[in-house]
Each structure stands twice: as C-alpha cells, then as structure tokens.
Amino acid sequence: MFIDAMAHLNDPRVEDLETVLERAKRAGITHIINAGVDPCLDQELPNSTAPLIYKAYGIPPMAVGKKPLNVQLDSLRERLAEDRVVAIGEIGLDKRAGMPDWNLQVEAFQAQLALAQTLNLPVIIHCVKATGLLLQELHQGPELIAGGLWHGYTGSVESVNQIENAGLHISLGGQVS
C-alpha cells in the first residue's frame, strides 16, 4: 500500500483529474488523502477506487478571513461529516508577507485543534516561517489525541523531537534540499 498523504486534487491547476489519477495508479499509489483548500468553496471530487480517495478538510492559513470565522467553521463541521473524511487539514500558521491577520490565524488554528479533539481526527499541519510559534500553540491547545502530520516540514533538526512529542509525524516537501 502506497499512500499520498496530502494532495490538492481540487486545485485549479489540476486540469485533467483522470490523467493525474491514472499516473498515480501507475506509480503504485493505492490511496490519496485530498486536502481541501477552503471548506466553503471545495468542490466534490468524483469517486475513484484506483486510487481510493479519502478526504481532509480544514481552514488553512491562506483561507482564514475570506468569510467570517464562524461561517467557515460551520462549513467545516458540515464537510467533516461527509463519507471518507480521515483528517482535519490543512490547518496551521503562516508568517509569509501578505497572509491573513496573525491573531485570526491563531484563533482559527485553535478552533480546529479543538474540533480535531472532539471528533478524534488527526490533523494535517501547514506551517511556514512559524515553527516555534506553532509549537507553542500546540502546547497551549487541546491535546491531539489522534495525532497528525506536519506536512512539508522544512524547519530545524532541533524542532523534530518537539513535533514528534506533540503526536505528529513529519513529511518532507519539495523545499528540502
């Protein structure tokens, strides 16, 4: 079994989903976890059994504030009740220029951690230029009883133990050299 643990199949740059799925199948991928990019806007994907598509929904930092947080959270709760949902994500913090208000990102992140705990779902973490701050929020927030994945980790070796102690696995993205 070979799982793509975090794909964005509804990304507008995916012009031919059937070709993407066929390529994944030829590469030996049996399962894909498709992470939505905004629970208020994500389109439903066609059913696929080869590879089998599972779902993750979350309010990633770049989507925070596009609608009032309570509206986004209500949409998220509805999406998480769908079939084949296996995680909440991507969620996290992003300190790049042009990202939404920091305090609103933190509020959305903490609300989603609480939801993950309530629903006993793992999380998929998105973090850019905020490793220490995100770790601090994880320690202050609800326990991740179902664990999760820190997607595309590019931080220091020193932070790896803290991430693992928080119950998270680490995936390495394309930025690692």
What DSSP designation does 36 have? P
The H or E element containing residue 53 is: strand 52-57
Query: Which helix (DSSP H) or strand (DSSP E) does residue 117 occupy?
Result: helix 102-119
Alpha-carbon span 25 to 37, nearest angstrom: 23
Task: Give the C-alpha separation, 119 to 163, whole Å.
Answer: 21
* pLDDT score recorded for residue 119: 97
Rounding to the nearest 10 degrees, give the CA dihedral for residues 106, 107, 111, 117: 30
Q: What is the pLDDT of residue 174?
A: 61
- What pTM, to 2 d.p., does this model score? 0.93
pLDDT along the chain (177 residues), means of 10: 90 90 95 92 84 96 96 97 96 97 98 97 96 95 94 88 94 65
Running DSSP on this structure, what letter comes out for residue 43?
P
Which of 121, 128, 129 minimizes the C-alpha distance to 167?
A: 121
The residue with tokens 């042009």 is: 98
- Alpha carbons 63 and 36: distance in angstroms, whole number: 11
